[in-house]
Homo-oligomer: A and B are copies of this chain.
Amino acid sequence: MGRGARGPSMHDVAALAGVSHQTVSRVLNGFEGIRPETRDRVLEAIERLGYRRNLAARSLATGRTGVVGVLSPDNPTYGATSSLFAVEHAVREAGLQPLITTTSGLPESVESALEFMYGRAVEALVIMAPSRSVLEVHDRMGVEVPTAYLLTGDERGRWSVSADQSKGAEMALQALLAAGHTAIQHVRGPLDSTEAQLRSDAYSRFMAQNSLARLPILEGDWSPQSGFDAYVRLDPRATAVFCANDQMAIGLMHAASVGGRWVPDDLSVVGFDDIPEAAHTLPPLTTVRQSFREVGTLAVALLTAALEGREPPDVEPLMPILVERDSVGPPGERKRSW
């Protein structure tokens, strides 16, 4: 194993500045009792040598790594990625180091990803767990570092950071109801997904509360293709569909158009997430926007508080926003001629 070229060390800096290495250490760590003149000499020596401190040595001496593990799904969706990048930024901002590791979600993949991070001595974790199985693996491996959860709905109580999924779903459904729809069907996300479950539960609750007949819930996998496929399984009576995300809504609108049904005249559709494309589908998609970046930032705030021994802030679920565009219209058989 060839050893890397080593840069200058504290001792080199100390020698150049005519002080001891400990004084250099004190300067770097912002110690108080240092004569300004000495500090300047040290800083100049650092500058001259292009010195960078060796974090491995520091970590070895202090027993701390400052590494925050981030487990992310390896699926490049807009929402998850937005949150991921917000987490990355916030972690770095907090003076810590993000260790982003992706997983397909299969148990062995989750396990190897977590094993990798534990092997790196992470001091905190952000688990972006779109599916419950990820949580199960994590629980089974039982490690003790502070952990925040994203994409898990409210599964983990105060450690779960998320937008209010139920409220969001309600907003979407309310938009349909307000337009006059009563035969509303739901295309949910994967059974395994906690967020999909919350939205789906909200659907059932909403229908019950408004004394509407609950049509069979169709299952998709978040992909546009699965939305497309869901269309043919739609109940003929349905005049409106609440899709659990925008991508499936896009696929479903495509299928509707192939099937000769026009959105919003023959079928109303709402999505969830407000991905950038949602404003430009045909027709532009009415959807529910959630602030992905905000949940990422909040999760890190939770962890830094825990790491510094402060009381973690209470995280209220974030309020989503209904974005009304053109995919919702009144029900009825106003078939457009084409």
Contact = CB atoms under 8 A, between A and B. Distances in A.
Interface of A: 1-6, 52, 54-57, 59-60, 62-65, 74, 76, 78, 81-82, 84-85, 88-89, 92, 97-102, 116, 118-121, 123, 223-225, 227-228, 247, 250-251, 253-254, 257, 276-277, 279-282, 284, 309, 336-338
Contacts of A337: 338
A103 to B, nearest CB: 9
B56 A284 contact: no
A253 B254 CA distance: 14
Contacts of A60: 54, 56-57, 60
Contact of A280 (B84, B101, B224): B224
A121 B7 CA distance: 10
Contact of A100 (B63, B88, B251): B88
A279 B337 CA distance: 25
Contact of A253 (B92, B121, B227, B282): B282
| Number of this chain's copies in the complex | 2
Contact of A224 (B63, B98, B227, B279): B279
A60 B282 CA distance: 58
A62 B3 contact: yes
A52 B277 contact: no
For the complex of A and B, list the 9 residue pairs with the smallest distance between their C-beta atoms, beginning with the closest: A76-B81, A56-B59, A254-B280, A3-B63, A224-B280, A282-B282, A4-B63, A56-B60, A100-B100
Contact of A276 (B1, B55, B224, B309): B224
A92 to B, nearest CB: 6
A190 B258 CA distance: 35
